[in-house]
Amino acid sequence: MGRIAVTGSVAFDTIMEFGGRFGDFILPDKTNELNVAFLVERLEKRRGGTAANIVFSLALLGERPLLCAAVGGGDFVDYAAALEAEGVDASTVLTCDDISTATAFITTDRDGNQITAFYPGAMARAAGVDLSKLPDVSEVVVGADDAEAMALHVEQARALNARLVFVPAQQIPAMADEVLRHGLEEAWLVGGNDYEFEMIRERTGLSIADLSSARLVAVTRGAAGSELHSPDGVAVIPTAPISEAVDPTGAGDAYVAGVIAGFRSGASPDVAGRIGSLAAAYVVEQHGPQHHRFDAASFRERYAAAFGFPLDLRSEDWG
C-alpha cells in the first residue's frame, strides 16, 4: 500500500478558554448587530492546523504520512523538526519565505463550543502545492485549505488514482457550490461533524444518506459519539472513555486519522470508527491538538479496555 498525502492548513493556534457559555451572551434576535466580548481564563499558543494535526496522529498510528501544505519560511523550522521527530515526512511542504505560517485564534466555552478567527498567511498560496509528481501515493486527504488549492488537489488525487479523503470543514462556506459538490462526488471517504454535514446539505441538497450511497461518510457528534455510513449500512461508534475532558481542539482531526489508519490496516467500519474514537479521546485529554502520545501496545490495551474486545486487524505490525 502506498503513502498518505495530506493537504490542508498548517497553523499556529492561539487557544483561549472562556469559562461561561457563548449562548448566554449572544441574543438570537440581535445577531445582525452582534457586539460581544469574552473574558478568557486561559491563553496558550500551540502548533495546529488541519493537515498538521492529521499527519501528527497518523504518525503515532504507525504511518509515515506526507505533509503537503504551504508554510512560512522563518517560523516553520522548529515546527517541521517536531513533526519529523514523530515520523511525519515534511519534505513535501511548500515554503514561502516572504510570509508567515497561518494563525488561528480559537475561543472555547465550557460546553466545548468554539469561535475561531483565522489568518491564512502562507496557506493562501497552497495552490502551489503540487501532488502530481508524488510517487506511490494511495490516499490523498484534502482538508480545510485555500479553496482554490482544495479544488486543485481533488483533481490531482484523481489523476494519481488515489483514494480521496475529503474533509472540507471550516472551508465549506468559502467553496463554490460546484467545487464542493465535485469533492464530495470524487471522495472515497467524506468526514466532518454533524453541523458541517448540515451545511453541506443546505449548500448541495445532499444528505448523509445520499452521500453514503456510494462512499464512506464519517460523522462525528461530539460526546454523542460518531457514525460511519456506507452503502452496506451504518456503524454507530461510541466515544472512548476519557479521564478528563480538557480541550476538544483537534479531536476531529485525530478521529479522521484513526479512521484512515484503521481502513488501511483492514479494519471493518465498526473497528475503524473505534480507532478514530480512541485517537480523538487522547487529544481531548490534553491541551492542544498535538500534545498526546501513545504507542502501539498502549493503544491496543486502552482499546480493549474501552470497547470490551481486542483490536483485531489483518496487519500484525499495525501501530
Rounded to an integer, what distance in angstroms lies between the CA atom of residue 238 and that of residue 270?
A: 10
Catalytic center residues: 253
Length of the chain in terms of residues written? 319
pLDDT bucket at 319, cuts 50 / 70 / 90: very low
* pLDDT tens profile 226-261: 999 999 999 999 999 999 998 888 999 999 999 999
pLDDT at 45 over 90: no
- Taking a C-beta distance cutoff of 8 angstroms, is the pair 196, 168 a contact? yes
Each residue of 225-234: b (16+ CB within 10 Å) or e?
Answer: bbbbbbeeee
- Taking a C-beta distance cutoff of 8 angstroms, is the pair 208, 187 a contact? no
pLDDT at 232: 96
pLDDT at 318: 53
Amino acid present at 162: A
pLDDT bucket at 73, cuts 50 / 70 / 90: confident
* pLDDT tens profile 283-302: 999 988 999 999 999 999 99
Compute how many other C-beta atoms are within 10 angstroms of the C-beta atom of residue 178.
10
Of the listed ranges 42-46, 54-58, 225-229, the one predicted with least confidence? 42-46
pLDDT bucket at 30, cuts 50 / 70 / 90: confident
Whole-structure pTM value: 0.90
Residue extents of the structural domains in the chain: 3-12+48-104+121-307
The three-state DSSP-derived secondary structure of 60-74 is HCCCCCEEECEEECC
Q: Which CATH class is domain 3-12+48-104+121-307?
A: alpha beta
